[in-house]
Chain A
């Protein structure tokens, strides 16, 4: 009796191994089932999701104008202190003082891509970009100024 059980066990064990190996053989012969992508080589054809949260950017139009009023809503919404809004006072043509942003400093190294700043922004001045290759040699390179040099606020955005 013991011998029969012993042989049965060996048989079922071997069978289970063969069943498992059959899978391996299946993938060995079916190349269409392979889904691996060769990442750095397929950069040109890489499609990222439209909503992918890669980094915060500030879109500018062709006149180098942005929509940021400097209200600091994004700075208050951020849980990590990623965004610092530095404001200045511009003179309008009528001679009045008007608040505007000098610099919108963005620390990519602190950002967790939680999207709270974008939902907080009342004038849609910032959005998420689909970039993801963020590695640099020095940490200071990750601190970015989002508004371009010499840019000013778009007309009509309050």
Chain B
């Protein structure tokens, strides 16, 4: 049977992981060159879920193209929409009411927690622990219900428009969020009990997939992947947008650069998001939730760039406008693509059994990589 596997001239075995593999969380295809059990090379093959979103956006107006970005990084769709709206507002110089800004940031942080919850469950499931998945989904469901009440959808919210948000907050929003904070604080201790402190989990994560700070920068990593290597890169801190410069929160940093460091970053980021929500939930200013905008949005001629911090890293949107109602060219800088490029480097010399731990700690969302 082994003879039938494809071998290189040096006698290395080449195996395919994916495109339909439960550990890749989507249609990611990895071609792995193995020497015995040691990984020599990992080659990601992309394109299985390419939908040419950038080209599609060129035929959509500035109100319409926002919804497409929900389909890229579907776990932090709200933050993607936020970036697009910010970019259009920057170009048109729309003044967003303060209430809308606070609502947007609140929703951003709730989305970030929901995204990290799902990642936490999936990460533990990749390493063979099935129970945490249900625990993570239990808390995530509460956030989804909050989203459903206010935005009308659970995953692809389409809640942000250029100039504000679609609808005002649901009357029950504040109470539900406060209930969630109480629930979250009660349950986060369970996460540490079940997974973080577990000896099997720690042994499988520590010193696996080590990425030095210099390498992480040269591969263009961002978000928890880069912060796990000890580089400060939180866009919310460095290039504050909306009201982030008025908020108090810490940037989670670890220096080990291994999978466990990236894991701890995300756990701590959830706690920081809760801190941000606690600061805002009682201080939502009164006023309009939407600025008055023209019926047809036209960006002036020029180039506009806006970056935000999604749950996975820096998401950038670059619009080239010729002055019409549709963009001339749109480029998205997605965090997943750059983070994936570091996988080959960190996997070389490691064992194939650890590949799942490395991939899980990168938190890859495949539609975000392919677009």
Q: Which residues of A contact B (CB under 8 A)?
A: 12-13, 16-17, 19-20, 22-24, 35, 48-53, 77-79, 112-116, 119, 128
Contacts and interface: CB of A to CB of B under 8 A. Distances in A.
B217 interface: no
Given A13-B199, A113-B158, A24 B131 contact: yes
Given A35-B138, A50-B149, 4 more contacts: A49-B149, A51-B148, A112-B156, A116-B64
B15 interface: no
Given A24-B131, A52-B148, A79 B158 contact: no
Interface string B138-165: 1001000100111111001010010000
Contacts of A20: 193-195, 197-198
Contacts of B63: 77, 116
Contacts of A116: 63-64, 67
Contacts of A53: 152-153
B68 A79 contact: yes
Contact of A52 (B67, B153, B158): B153
Contact of A114 (B67, B149, B170, B200): B67
A24 B135 CA distance: 11
B242 interface: no
5 contacts: A35-B138, A79-B68, A113-B152, A116-B64, A116-B67
Contacts of B60: 79
A18 to B, nearest CB: 10
Given A23-B194, A35-B138, A115 B152 contact: yes
B148 A79 contact: no
A113 B161 CA distance: 14
B152 A119 contact: no
Interface residues of B, number: 30
B188 to A, nearest CB: 13
A115 B200 CA distance: 47
A51 B193 contact: no
Contact of A16 (B148, B150, B197): B197
Given A77-B63, A112-B67, A128 B198 contact: no
A48 B149 CA distance: 9
Given A24-B131, A113-B158, A116-B64, A128 B138 contact: no
* Interface core residue of A13, A20, A78 (most chain B CB under 10 Å): A20
Contacts of B148: 48-49, 51-52
A127 to B, nearest CB: 11
B151 A51 contact: yes
Given A52-B148, A114-B158, A115-B166, A17 B198 contact: yes
Contacts of A79: 60, 64-65, 67-68
Contacts of B158: 112-115
B190 interface: yes
B145 to A, nearest CB: 8
Nearest to B56: A79
Contacts of B64: 77-79, 114, 116
A19 B193 contact: yes
A115 to B, nearest CB: 6
B288 interface: no
